[in-house]
Every structure is written in C-alpha cells, then in structure tokens.
C-alpha cells in the first residue's frame, strides 16, 4: 500500500441500518480522510433508520445519502484493512468476525446494543440512539488515537 493510499475500514452489523452506518459516518468525519469508511450487514434493511440519520445530523454529520449494503458487496471485491463488528450478537456467529486475509489484530469486536430495540416514548428512543452514537464516537476516537 502506498503512503498516500487510505486504509479501508469495514463496519459490520446485522441490518446495516443503525450502528454500522453511524460508525461509518463517524469514522469518515473523525479521521479527516485518513481512512476510507464503509459498512455492511448480513441481512441489510431497506433503509437507514430515521433516528440514526437524525441523531447524526445533530452533531453535524449527514448519513442520509448512505445506503444499507450486504456484506457480499465486499467479499473478495475490496481491499479491507480493518473489520470492526459492532453488533452484540457476534458471539452467536450472527455477524462475521473472520475475514479472509485480515490479520487477527485488524479484526475488532466492539459490541453495541441495537438501538432499534429501544422501547418507550419517542424521546426515550432518541436518547438510546444518542447514547449509541456517543459511545461509537468515543470508541472510534480512542481507536484513532491508539488507545484501543
């Protein structure tokens, strides 16, 4: 890889509608071009969850143009440097943690609860999405700063 080539980070979750989409937007913003961020899911939904779009917009990051994609989009077709699984069911093998050609040190597991499962009022659901967003931002910032 040339010094000017950005390393590709693939965020994985089940539906690619919330956590991995927020992580993709956050890394793109926080890394200031150092990484090429993308995301995918095992069973991608039809659209990004509206609350994910809303809570990201609250911090100035627009993910409304991103689309849910299948993990098959990237299998054998893209040079991936890091795979970061952000779903909690990875230990049940629902989300893939192994990727051909990726060293163990570059396969990371960051379990975050699915905000779609949140119950309560609209405001309570928004708060859960904000909590996941802020937790992802903290984890990504730590990783970028070598604290992960």
Distance CA 147, CA 124 (A): 31
Of residues 29 and 99, more confidence is placed in 29
Does residue 115 contact residue 52 with C-beta atoms inside 8 Å? yes
Give pLDDT tens digits for 26-44.
999 999 989 999 999 988 9
Answer yes or no: 13 catalytic: yes
Q: What is the mean pLDDT of residues 87-96?
A: 60
pTM: 0.90
Residue 73 phi, psi dihedral angles, 5° rounding: -60, -35
Name the active-site residue from 12, 63, 95, 140: 95
Distance CA 4, CA 20 (A): 26
Answer yes or no: 87 catalytic: yes
Residue 103: pLDDT band by 50, 70, 90 thresholds?
Answer: confident
Extract the tokens encoding 26: 């956050």
Name the active-site residue from 10, 13, 55, 84: 13
CATH topology of domain 7-144: Rossmann fold (3.40.50)
pLDDT at 95 over 70: no
Name the active-site residue from 87, 116, 136, 140: 87
């Amino acid at each position: 890889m040339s010094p000017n080539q950005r390393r590709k980070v693939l965020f994985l979750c089940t539906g690619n509608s919330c956590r991995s989409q927020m992580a993709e937007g956050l890394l793109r913003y926080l890394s200031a071009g150092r990484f090429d961020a993308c995301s995918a899911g095992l069973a991608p939904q039809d659209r990004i969850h509206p609350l994910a779009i809303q809570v990201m917009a609250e911090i100035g990051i627009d993910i409304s143009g991103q689309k849910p994609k299948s993990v098959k989009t990237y299998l054998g077709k893209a040079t991936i440097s890091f795979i970061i699984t952000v779903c909690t069911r990875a230990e049940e093998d629902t989300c893939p943690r192994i990727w051909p050609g990726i060293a163990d040190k570059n396969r990371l597991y960051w379990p975050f609860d699915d905000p779609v499962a949140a119950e309560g009022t609209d405001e309570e659901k928004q708060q859960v999405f904000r909590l996941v967003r802020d937790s992802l931002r903290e984890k990504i910032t730590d990783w970028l700063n070598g604290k992960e």
